[in-house]
Structure 1
């Protein structure tokens, strides 16, 4: 299935590449495994989906508005490996140098950039979001799909509305409320302690929303479930608020800046040659000559 606009969750793909691939180094000893894997994935996306428009969304440094709402947000995440941080910076520099569109906004996460751009451009173009983060399933609809990399970075799965229901037991429009009920350990927001995925999906299947659940507590048969919902009501609504992607990030969206034919292939060749990415150079030559993408 071809998609005309691809948005890549940059940090998600870089994290996956960093942990899935060998620890490569450049001729001058610089760690480059995540950089190599990132661009290998990008080339595969270009080849498989032939997008006309392409964007890499990145997390901005520092806290975002979710940290202001909940001081414990992402508090349990281990500190990023310095070798990964250096490669994230390097990828940003390469994207800029090669004129591959990227975007970040202080105070927001890449998810919010993705949601904002996808909401606007999907009115005219089908969108494919590349991410390992299932939170973005809330954005899926008949115009927006996800591509979840699998087996490291070698393959992936297209996620459309029916697959969200199959994976989580709820529809895309219920993902935020689902996260509110069950929480998220990776982002460290609590949900209702003791309400797991099956119970959360069952409640939403019956009542539709967390508001409707709380409006109908007397209709829930299990006293234990009722008590958990009552005891952790504030946590449920806070968690849903934290899980919700902000699709109104104040950024300018100019479709022309995302065109893939703007990419400076010669700059990519220079960078890859310096970093010792011989196989990527070969891929680049092949794409430039045989596929005429650019």
Structure 2
């Protein structure tokens, strides 16, 4: 899955979305068509859609996959961890291909102190500078995690706050004021951080089958870019693998 060039539906909701990111290096941009060409040579399907990010495509594919299918997502993006559930895991590439970790529900909770489903609530409170998601000004990481441990999610937190419940009264006055003052930004931030799972996308397991692998085409694709040593490592076409 690839990001489609240009603005997304998130930019329409918040024009400053990702505004502080430096432009993608031209050398990297020029490599993307070549990556797609090599993937096509291996028979790997490519998905991208105008107005959406790669994460939204991944989320949608996970949603429409069979309920009994085990799903493992390969990504270097921490945002994707929000998709983890009882059948979905994430193989996260942190620094290069050797520093990788397989995340399930337990590992996310052990490392971050929250469940995968709470990641969007965390971003709603803390924000995300890399994507220029505002969050609630003045709320840091520790406070955000503490609030989620006590209230579960953003909606329940604000329900307690606005009802002035006994539970909400235990929140420090300054934090309560910040939360109430920046409610709009909090819910906007959650909306921006949430990966969509319902975009129009025609895909089935058959189209993603690795049975389309053709060794001759793969060799040809690698040689075009002078990856000669890799051609010797390619599996024989008799292998029947399915993704």
TM-score with structure 2 setting the length? 0.91
Q: Which residue of 2 aligns with 1:283?
A: 233
C-alpha distance in structure 2 between counterparts of 1:167 and 1:100, whole Å: 33
Is the CA contact 1:132–1:149 (under 8 Å) kept in the aligned structure 2? yes
How far 1:98 moved relative to its partner? 3.4
Secondary structure of residue in 2 paired with 1:60: coil
Runs (4+) off by over 4 Å: none
Q: Spell out, residue by residue over 1:124-153, the C-alpha distance to the aligned partner (whole angstroms, 9 max, x if none).
A: 310000112121111101110000113411
CA shift in 2, pair 1:150/1:279, >3 Å: farther
Is the CA contact 1:99–1:263 (under 8 Å) kept in the aligned structure 2? yes
CA shift in 2, pair 1:279/1:154, >3 Å: farther
Q: Which residue of 1 aligns with 2:64?
A: 120
Q: Which residue of 1 aligns with 2:103?
A: 159
Kindly report which structure 2 residues correspond to 1:1-294, keeping only aligned pairs within 5 A, or say none.
57-217=1-161, 218=164, 219=168, 220-284=170-234, 287-288=235-236, 292-293=239-240
How far 1:293 moved relative to its partner? 4.8
Is the CA contact 1:122–1:143 (under 8 Å) kept in the aligned structure 2? no
Is the CA contact 2:38–2:222 (under 8 Å) kept in the aligned structure 1? no
Is the CA contact 1:122–1:144 (under 8 Å) kept in the aligned structure 2? no
RMSD between superposed Cα atoms in Å: 1.7
Is the CA contact 2:60–2:198 (under 8 Å) kept in the aligned structure 1? yes
Structure 1 gaps, min length 5:
1-56
How far 1:208 moved relative to its partner? 0.9
How far 1:122 moved relative to its partner? 4.6
TM-score with structure 1 setting the length? 0.76
Deviates more, 1:64-73 or 1:217-226: 217-226
Aligned residue pairs total 235
